[in-house]
Amino acid sequence: MSRLFKIIALLEGISLLVLFGNMLFLKPTNLELYKTLLFPVGMAHGLLFIAYIVLATMFKMEENWPWKKYGIVCVASVLPFGTFYVEKKIL
């Protein structure tokens, strides 16, 4: 299960960066491509975010993580490159 959580953390971080890239770089230059990519990228990121939080909660319960570690893992999910840090340093 730890391997699954690491994979989800990596994919969630990548999807967040792709979503930001879509918003920052494609929207001003190519509005048509931006609108085409927004829904699938946003949906994938949303599902990966939910999976990340659910798995973090399951790990907290199973491995008796302290609240501080659980809080860091959850806050990292909303920061760019945060899940990469969690995947390398905390897991």
Q: Is residue 51 part of a domain?
A: yes
pLDDT, tens digit (0-9, with 9 covering 90-100), for 57-81: 999 999 999 999 999 999 999 999 9
Q: What residues contact 76, with CB distance under 8 A and at least 6 apart?
A: 82, 83, 85, 86
Q: Is residue 21 part of a domain?
A: yes
**% of the chain surpassing 70 pLDDT:** 100
Q: Is residue 77 part of a domain?
A: yes
Q: Is residue 52 part of a domain?
A: yes
pTM, two decimal places: 0.89
Q: Is residue 41 part of a domain?
A: yes
The residue range of the domain holding 15 is: 2-86
Of 77, 18, 83, 85, nearest to 53 by C-alpha is 77
Provide the residue type at 68 as one letter.
K
Q: Where do the H-state alpha helices sit in the chain?
A: 2-21, 27-29, 31-63, 67-76, 82-85
Q: Is residue 91 part of a domain?
A: no
Q: What total number of domains does the chain contain? A: 1
- Decide if pLDDT at 50 tops 90: yes
- Decide if pLDDT at 15 tops 90: yes
